[in-house]
């Protein structure tokens, strides 16, 4: 299992694509599949749009982010997320965070 992970709270993500801009401009990365838009119906019957940022393969291939993590820093997209929908850390800690915060719409990607 991967040691680190990137957690995205789909209930907080607003689809602003800031992570894409940061990755392209600051990290000089090429984002091949930056955002997948999905819709779901809430328990109250309201339709909402959600955004699934990056696929796992793209994040783990980012040379600048891998280098940052190797130096004890977080990926650039974490600080850039205005909605605070992203967290980075050890997979076990992120899984515990999901459990304690009762996050039914969380997306955890191994890094």
**96 falls in which pLDDT band (50, 70, 90)?**
very high
* pLDDT for res 1: 64
Task: Report pLDDT digits (tens) over 34-59.
Answer: 556 666 677 788 877 666 655 445 66
Identify the CA nearest to 94 among candidates 78, 75, 110, 77.
110
User: Of 3.30.9.10, 3.90.870.30, 1.20.120.80, 3.30.70.20, which CATH number belongs to 4-110?
Assistant: 3.30.70.20
Q: What's the rounded Cα separation, in Å, for the pair 30 and 9? A: 23
Residue whose token pair is 């990607």? 109
Residue 102 has which token pair?
């009762």
């Amino acid at each position: 299992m991967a040691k680190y992970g990137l957690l995205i709270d789909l209930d907080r993500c607003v689809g602003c694509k800031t992570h894409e801009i940061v990755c392209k401009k600051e990290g000089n990365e090429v984002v091949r599949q930056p955002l997948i838009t999905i819709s779901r119906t809430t328990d109250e019957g309201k339709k909402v749009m959600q955004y699934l940022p990056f696929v796992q393969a793209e994040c783990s291939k980012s040379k600048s982010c891998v280098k940052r993590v190797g130096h004890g820093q977080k990926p650039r997209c974490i600080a850039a997320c205005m909605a605070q929908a992203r967290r980075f850390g050890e997979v076990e800690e992120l899984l515990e965070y999901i459990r304690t915060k009762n996050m039914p719409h969380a997306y955890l990607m191994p890094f």
